[in-house]
Amino acid sequence: MDEEYDVIVLGTGLTECILSGLLSREGKKVLHMDRNDYYGGESASLNLTQLYRKFRPGQEPPAELGRDRDYNIDLIPKFIIASGELTKILVHTDVTRYMEFKQIAGSYVFRDGKISKVPSTEMEAVKSPLMGLFEKRRAKNFFSFLQTWKDDDPSTHQGIDLDKDSMKTVYEKFGLESGTQDFIGHAMALYLDDDYITKPARAAYERIVLYTQSMARYGKSPYIYPLYGLGELPQSFARLSAIYGGTYMLDKPIHEIVTSDDGKFVGVRSGEETVKAKQVIGDPSYFGAGAEGGKVRVVEEGKVVRAICVLKHPIPGTDDADSCQIIIPQKQVNRKNDIYVAAVSHTHNVAAKGIWIAIVSTIVETSVPERELQPGLQLLGAIHDKFVSISSLYTPTADGKSDNIFITRSYDATSHFETVVEDVQDVWQRVTGQPFSELNLKKTDVENMQE
């Protein structure tokens, strides 16, 4: 390990693997290391034995759940928005050749004690049980406004300036009720809270249009998901990195981040060996997350609670769907943060036949985190088994430009990848000094992504 690299990447989570794949592709000499003997870090997919080893050491998985190899259970549940940023990266890098994708069967929102499909077009709005007759007409006008908007044609603006007027102003113009605003803001624009309402409407407009375009692509829902679980994503980006000369070392403990007298990054020490590089990128666990003493490079912003639930039936009220997403907007259950349910099954090659895996997650707000998941758990019907985890959300204290140490963020509670890609874009810009947009992600068609 005596040669010098441009970049050392620590941890094989999705964020780190995308960055190492893209950096290798751009001609950088990359060394990628992980203390674990498997890919994926926090965003790995585990078989049954690995799942039990992690959550119930010493306990064997019950034989009734079937073969070990039939399972690929995600530790962090997320779906891919069909027209979103991760899709563009997958297509741009040709990582799609290593993977197959399947559509998620439905996108639902919780309102007034029950779940309903999220309407995304004028026609669906008219049929939706989420709204009364007059509200349907108002929602139809709202969607029509979004679908016909053209920046360069003021006649489509109806007196609204997306860059100046707040989303609150737009909602009020169309007279939308707060319950309708709830599902538009949280189940379509996918905001985590209601802060967006007071900000200029442009960002919300773009998010809603992204949702409707993704929905139009495949029809049933705007989400797709890789066969054999999300652990396939980091592995595929790792392959990309290797094709372009990246070096991988798994099962390699990291003992020290070596810095010079003035605090700049020099290299990484593993045992007696030190490998040098100009820059280092890594997940918070390699930079003192949760440890006492030493330099504080990351701070805890909060915690996420997740429950991996094994079901022997589809989720009630979803038309026996093989998969779905359910969003419970915060206001519906008197919370500050939404609750997310992501469910997949044997048709995605992640469980044995007749088994569904549903993962409920949210940001922790109280001293009894598991109880906070109750509104989501209640929607699942009979739960055969449940594995609960609480993870800290870490964020870096510095941007890395002064010491060449670039730290990624922890994975949040959302059930999609847009926030992960925002972090990739942010780190990329800081590491390379180039805007991510200059990568020129091809907006090619991704119809071939689905099997």
Instruction: Please report the pLDDT score of residue 441 as a whole number.
Output: 55
Question: What is the mean predicted confidence (pLDDT) over 408-422?
Answer: 90
Instruction: Please report the pLDDT score of residue 2 as a whole number.
Output: 62
Helix (H) or strand (E) holding 304: strand 298-311
- Burial class, 58, CB count within 10 angstroms (exposed 0-12 / middle 13-18 / buried 19+): exposed
With both helix axes pointing from N to C terminus, report the angle between 85-93 and 14-25 in degrees, rounded to the nearest 10.
Answer: 40
Here the tokens at position 449 are 């992504």
Average per-residue pLDDT for the chain: 91
Q: Is 11 left (phi over 0), alpha (psi -120 to 50) or beta?
A: left
**Which pLDDT tens digit goes with each residue over 33-67?**
999 988 998 889 999 999 999 999 999 999 999 99
Instruction: Please report the pLDDT score of residue 337 as a whole number.
Output: 92
Instruction: Please report the pLDDT score of residue 364 as a whole number.
Output: 96
CB 251 within 8 A of CB 36: yes
Q: How far apart are CA 379 and CA 292, in angstroms?
A: 40
Say if pTM beats, i.e. exceeds, 0.75.
yes
Question: What is the mean predicted confidence (pLDDT) over 250-266?
Answer: 93
Nearest 5 degrees, angle CA 240-CA 236-CA 386? Answer: 155
Question: What is the mean predicted confidence (pLDDT) over 304-325?
Answer: 96
Q: Band of the pLDDT at 292, cuts 50, 70, 90?
A: low
Q: How far apart are CA 184 and CA 180, in angstroms?
A: 6
